[in-house]
Structure 1
Amino acid sequence: MLLLMRGPHLGAAPGTVFAEPPKQEHRQSARRRAMEGVRPVSPWRSERVPTGVPNLDRLTDGGLSQGDLVLIVGGPGTGKTILAAQMAFHWAALGRGVLWLVTLGEPNEKFLAHLSEMRFFDPRQVGVTFHLVNVSRFLPEGLEAQLRVIRDTVRSGEYDFVVIDGFQGFRGFLAGPSEVRVFLSDLSSELALGGITLVVTTDADPGQHWESPEFTAADSLIQLDRVVIGGRQRRQIQVSKMRGRVAVGGWHSFSVDSAGVSIHPRIESVLPPSEPVSAAERQALGVPGLDHLLDGGVPRGTLTLVAGAPGTGKGFLADHFLAEGLRQGQACLYVCVAKTPADLLTRADRFGLPLRQGEASGKLHLRTYEPARFDPDECAAHVLDAVESYGIQRLAVDDVGPLVEDIGASGRTLEYLTALAGHLRGHGVTTMITSQQPELFSAALNLRTLPLAEVADNVIILRFSDADGRLRRKLAVVKTRYSYHRPLTAEMLIEEGTLDVVPHPRPEEARPESASYYAEQVTQHEGESLRPEQRLRP
């Protein structure tokens, strides 16, 4: 094995056995002191190196291990080079030496021109802490020549990271799998003796080539992939191997834009905070008649589902819910799919609701998504970031249909919704989510067809009723948790500029013989009995 000598302490005769870890004279250069969170290298314990990629350290249990061989694999165009470059410039900005080796393909100038489009690219680091070397002309000379070139290049400077971008270029000039294994094993071992981390990108599919020497030699394996869900392309990342560490398993969503790679871990893989719901603290929904049915509102931190047919007024209730929060001085977040901020604010203006003023003052935050680009994990990440950054106290989602449809393709619907509700509840966020249902006139909407009904603390059903040739909007609270409600049918009146809910003393239509009025028994909190004024009198 070729030894990379970065100091006299690194050499040792073969077979030497240490009774205790040897003492090392660690370099105290400014660039090493600048690396946050990295302590002097221990011969028996690798240190964690933050990557600088949003949420990648969460998946890797705190970052990469110093001195490891990190393999980034995936098909062409999956984002391997961007991910490696983002980490490299993060390290370079902290004063750590990075050696980037280009194998085959574009010249250095073209490579840098492409990287210059990314916001993490800093031309001031090029030639200072970020060094780019093209080794393609040495590839045909064989294994020993390739190792010698890399060894001599590393010796010529002070480097903490070596990146080989496009290892398939090396592989084509090595004599079979055995030489590939020797190349990676020898090089990574030499670099590890000097505390240098080796990052290698390559075009490969571990699912089909697990026996490949790259995968067996790697200490950490990061997979990138692109899949099509519902006609939409989705990027996914998985940390499938980490020696000595426990990574967050499974596939996670990620996006690529001018800022680089941003990872959105599956929300069910992130533990939510724990905060008990206070049933004593009520949050009014902003519609007096509805708040009357709810005995003053819903408990703070609960999730309310509003389900109904198109045109029944679900979005109007969400508008009033947020307007009430703004009147109370609360920070609010409005999340919508297939609607623009202008649409939302114009609709609220018709009812004289202060949403436009709330946005102007910074109390209301709007987040809208295009259906063709909607990613449930990215949406959840944006919501939780806003909750923590702005102290969001009220959240409205209008509507949840595209989210449920998208997440249902992966079989995670209930797990996703449960985790999202748990995070919001743990942060004390009072939430209203609308869901569109196809039944226009049915008096027997089945809550079992609504995945969110299992997760929601409160459920409000809206439907149309045809009485005397006139369409009426009917409303009923069919479920409350941590609280009680008045089990009455009400009419929701929407006129130009006004919305009101008027309870009826008793349902106007007869109950179906085989089911409750809404195909779901009205849920009363365990141990609660109806107050005298709540009981229906003949």
Structure 2
Amino acid sequence: MTTDSSTDHPANHLLKTGVPGLDDVLGGGFAPGRLYLAEGIPGSGKTTIAMQFLMEGVRSGERVLYVTLSETEEELQGVAVSHGWNLKGIEIRELLPSTDVLSPDEQYTIFHPSEVELGETTLRILADVDRVNPTRVVFDSLSELRLLAGNSLRYRRQILALKQFFAGRNCAVLLLDDMTANEHDLQVQSIAHAVIRLEQNHPGFGVSRRRLVVLKYRGQAFRGGYHDYKIVRGGFVVFPRLVAAEHRDTLVPTNLPSGIEALDAMMGGGMDGGTSTLLLGAPGTGKSSLAMQYALACARRGDCAALFIFDESVATLRSRAEGMGMPISTYIDSGHIRVRQVDPSELSPGELVHEIRQAVTEHQVKVVVIDSLNGYLNAMPDERFLIVQLHELLTFLGQSGVATILIGAQHGIMGLQMSAAVDASYLADTVVLLRHFEKGGEVLQAISVMKKRIGRHERSIRSFSMSAQGIAVGPPLRELRGVFTGIPVDMGGLDGGSETSLGS
């Protein structure tokens, strides 16, 4: 949270913006009687925010005014139709040059056009304000006023005059700036009570990434930093940056068994609520299946689990689980297991974290699975910040009492040179390693708990297998040495032992 002053505006006196998530970022909304600036390049969503701001005023029974200097009312109505909105109750005032200005008789010869047109425009604006007496006003856009002013001094004095005029009327004014001036000045930023900047990034592949930042907000605590947003049918949606320190709860220790006796013995009884577990291994070692086992056990207890999958479709997940005797479809249909297929090229990191947060706060999930960290890395526009954001997410989930399962796929199949694209082992409370190894002309799997911060755990390496009957964890591989090298040495003959599983 960031603040410019200790004189925060009372939350019940702030005007709601009508934009989901934006009030959270602003610490409640806009204070009445102040002047605000939303700036961004064309297409960043300024007009959409402005319309939602005014429609929220109409819903509250307020009088609102939209002053447009660059778009016609017909164009604004077209924007509204695209979102399924009705602009009834919004007074729209067009201040556009008429076609008469194209006539040679209308060209100014003694005075500079700005000296005449700025004065005329200002008088028309003030007359409309006197007539409507609004509590919310939008100016779209400042580029026109800047050009009419002619120079920076006159432009600044004009904005100051407007600020004083509206302050006396207890009217909140939102100015839109499309930043099309040759040199972006800070005149309005220094005058405005708060400044919101909208930014767009166009990656080499995938949808454009959008984010906003509150540059200033006088006398009001707000959530600093960048916040992802998107524009969909229905309007502008903001995904506030997650701050784990704001979600501290008193946790009751819980134990979450998997339903497989040998696996729970390795884990010291099972996973603990409020901790994170990293399942690390090569492709095909059973990481996703093991995560599904914990989600299925959670659903059987009557709780809810959430799976965020990057590397396979929901249909493939259902088919694979059913083939292993896991009735996951039944619990997906009942809502006890929630599956979200994530497309890294379409979903921003902020939106993904927002969905995970919603799953915890709205659906009270007890187990969250992120499959996999490699896909999560691809969703990040800048991988340098992956670990920082992941740390914040895991802290939030831990403080909420959620058991988090992270799946990390390693490069390679066998050998000692295995490596992961993302090293999150130091963040996780528990690390479970799964590996392939060769024996008797077959490729088998092994499992071991390498680390557990809370409680005891086995240090043995056990056999691990998957079949139509589900997951099976066998006895410790005590007769083999060098299992994790991929080619172990038989130290006396492996009798195999009977693999144990509690079934479904």
Q: TM-score, normalised by structure 1?
A: 0.80
The Cα RMSD (Å) is 2.5
2:93 to 115, 124, 133: 133
Corresponding residue number in structure 2 for 1:305 = 278
Corresponding residue number in structure 1 for 2:38 = 72
Corresponding residue number in structure 1 for 2:109 = none
Which stretches in structure 2 are left out of the alignment for 5+ residues? 1-9, 99-112, 489-504
1:56-95 aligned at under 5 Å gives the runs 56-95=22-61
2:79 to 91, 114, 117: 114
Are 2:195 and 1:221 aligned?
yes
Contact kept, 8 Å, 2:274 with 2:397, in 1: the verdict is: yes
Q: Matched residue of 1:393: which SS?
A: strand
Q: 1:183: how far off?
A: 1.6
Corresponding residue number in structure 2 for 1:30 = none
Q: Matched residue of 2:129: which SS?
A: helix
Cα separation, 1, equivalents of 2:242 and 2:423: 17
Are 2:315 and 1:350 aligned?
no
Corresponding residue number in structure 1 for 2:431 = 459
Q: 1:295: how far off?
A: 2.5
Corresponding residue number in structure 2 for 1:494 = 466
Change (3 A) 1:90 1:340: farther
Corresponding residue number in structure 1 for 2:447 = 475
Q: 1:131: how far off?
A: 0.7
Matched residue count = 461
One-letter identity of the residue aligned with 1:223: R
Cα separation, 1, equivalents of 2:321 and 2:137: 56
Q: Matched residue of 1:373: which SS?
A: coil
Are 2:332 and 1:359 aligned?
yes
One-letter identity of the residue aligned with 1:474: A
Contact kept, 8 Å, 1:73 with 1:205, in 2: the verdict is: no
Per-residue Cα deviation, 1:246-274 (whole angstroms, up to 9, x for no partner)? 33222221111112111112224762323
Cα separation, 1, equivalents of 2:334 and 2:227: 35
Contact kept, 8 Å, 1:181 with 1:213, in 2: the verdict is: yes
Q: Which has the higher contact order (CA 8 A, sep 6+)?
A: 2
Corresponding residue number in structure 2 for 1:324 = 297
Q: Matched residue of 1:418: which SS?
A: helix
Change (3 A) 1:305 1:205: farther
Q: 1:505: how far off?
A: 4.6
Corresponding residue number in structure 2 for 1:179 = 154
Per-residue Cα deviation, 1:293-331 (whole angstroms, up to 9, x for no partner)? 112211122111111111111111121111111111111
Cα separation, 1, equivalents of 2:367 and 2:230: 27
One-letter identity of the residue aligned with 2:81: S
1:184-199 aligned at under 5 Å gives the runs 184-199=159-174
Are 2:380 and 1:386 aligned?
no
Contact kept, 8 Å, 1:334 with 1:366, in 2: the verdict is: yes
Change (3 A) 1:205 1:144: closer
Q: TM-score, normalised by structure 2?
A: 0.85
One-letter identity of the residue aligned with 1:262: V
Cα separation, 2, equivalents of 1:268 and 1:334: 22
The percent of aligned pairs where both chains have the same amino acid is 23
Cα separation, 1, equivalents of 2:467 and 2:483: 29
Contact kept, 8 Å, 1:222 with 1:240, in 2: the verdict is: yes
Are 2:103 and 1:160 aligned?
no
Q: Matched residue of 2:170: which SS?
A: coil
Contact kept, 8 Å, 1:459 with 1:479, in 2: the verdict is: yes
Q: 1:221: how far off?
A: 0.7
Are 2:385 and 1:420 aligned?
no
Cα separation, 1, equivalents of 2:345 and 2:386: 19
Cα separation, 1, equivalents of 2:183 and 2:244: 28
Per-residue Cα deviation, 1:327-377 (whole angstroms, up to 9, x for no partner)? 111111111114322222222111222321112212222211112113222
Contact kept, 8 Å, 1:489 with 1:507, in 2: the verdict is: no
1:407-446 aligned at under 5 Å gives the runs 407=380, 409=382, 411-443=384-416
Corresponding residue number in structure 2 for 1:49 = 15
One-letter identity of the residue aligned with 2:195: L
Cα separation, 2, equivalents of 1:152 and 1:476: 77
Name which of structure 1's ranges 336-345 and 92-101 shifts more when overlaid on structure 2: 336-345
Cα separation, 1, equivalents of 2:55 and 2:440: 71
Which stretches in structure 1 are left out of the alignment for 5+ residues? 1-36, 40-46, 518-538
Q: 1:386: how far off?
A: 1.6
One-letter identity of the residue aligned with 1:54: P
Contact kept, 8 Å, 2:11 with 2:28, in 1: the verdict is: no
